[in-house]
Amino acid sequence: MTSPKTANETSATAELRREYRYGALSEQDVSADPLQQFTRWFDEAARAQVLDYSAMALATSSGDGPSVRTVLLKGLDPRGLRWFTDKGSEKGRALRANPRAELLFHWRELDRQVRVRGTVTELPDDESDAYFYSRPLGSQLAAATSAQSQGVASREELEARYRTLSDTHSESVPRPQDWGGFLLQPDQYEFWQGRESRLHDRLQYQVVDGGWVIQRLQP
């Protein structure tokens, strides 16, 4: 009996491709306001039941170089896009050192990608409190248990800390001081719609003289 070949042995990875036929994106279709355009696509992703459509890759860059991870969008309005995290984490430290960052959404069922670049600030404590205390008790306990991104000796140690906290807190846990929200205020958006034969549509919005200007980019 021969063992199954790995993807690399069969070059299967290099052969993976599909045509993007879901739709097109033209200058006439899009809103002049990128937030409105984003909201339109975000709602379409929700209606299409894209799994985890609020998940976004957050790219930061600091003295150590670039770094990227997934976080969940928890709100958007004219001030920007926000998410919550442990601000003492690697991403938190990177953002405090360099507040320029980019968010990326990939809605594969719609052959769409959106990039949002901007400057990040910290949300005020009352907004972090409001969201923290709206979370299930288990999530609050986990946040209070974990110094995100720091090493730990074992899974058991984490679980023991969690149990100790949950024994003494049955309704809520005080929000850890460094746990809270970040807000990215966009100054650049890019909407990408996959097209047949890789001749994709890319429309980029940039702030010029205080207003949004749209430019088509080559795919």
Ligand X SMILES: Cc1cc2nc3c(=O)[nH]c(=O)nc-3n(C[C@H](O)[C@H](O)[C@H](O)COP(=O)(O)O)c2cc1C
Q: Footprint of ligand X on this chain (CB under 6 A)? A: 52, 55, 67, 69-72, 83-85, 89-91, 148-149
Q: Which is nearer to ligand X, 66 or 219 (CB)?
A: 66
Least gap, CB of 110 to ligand X (angstroms): 18
Q: Which is nearer to ligand X, 37 or 89 (CB)?
A: 89
Alpha helices in the chain (DSSP H): 12-15, 34-47, 90-97, 125-132, 137-145, 155-168
Least gap, CB of 70 to ligand X (angstroms): 4
Least gap, CB of 117 to ligand X (angstroms): 18
Write down the catalytic residue from 21, 47, 163, 198: 198
Give the separation between CA 126 and CA 32, rounded to whole angstroms: 33
Q: Which is nearer to ligand X, 54 or 119 (CB)?
A: 54
Q: Which is nearer to ligand X, 30 or 81 (CB)?
A: 81
Active site residue 79: no
If DSSP states are collapsed to H, E and C, what string results for 26-83? CCCCCCCCHHHHHHHHHHHHHHCCCCCCCEEEEEEEECCEEEEEEEECCEEECCEEEE
Give the separation between CA 92 and CA 178, rounded to whole angstroms: 9
Burial classification of residue 201, based on how many CB atoms lie within 10 Å of its CB (0-12 exposed, 13-18 middle, 19 or more buried): buried
Least gap, CB of 59 to ligand X (angstroms): 10
Active site residues: 198
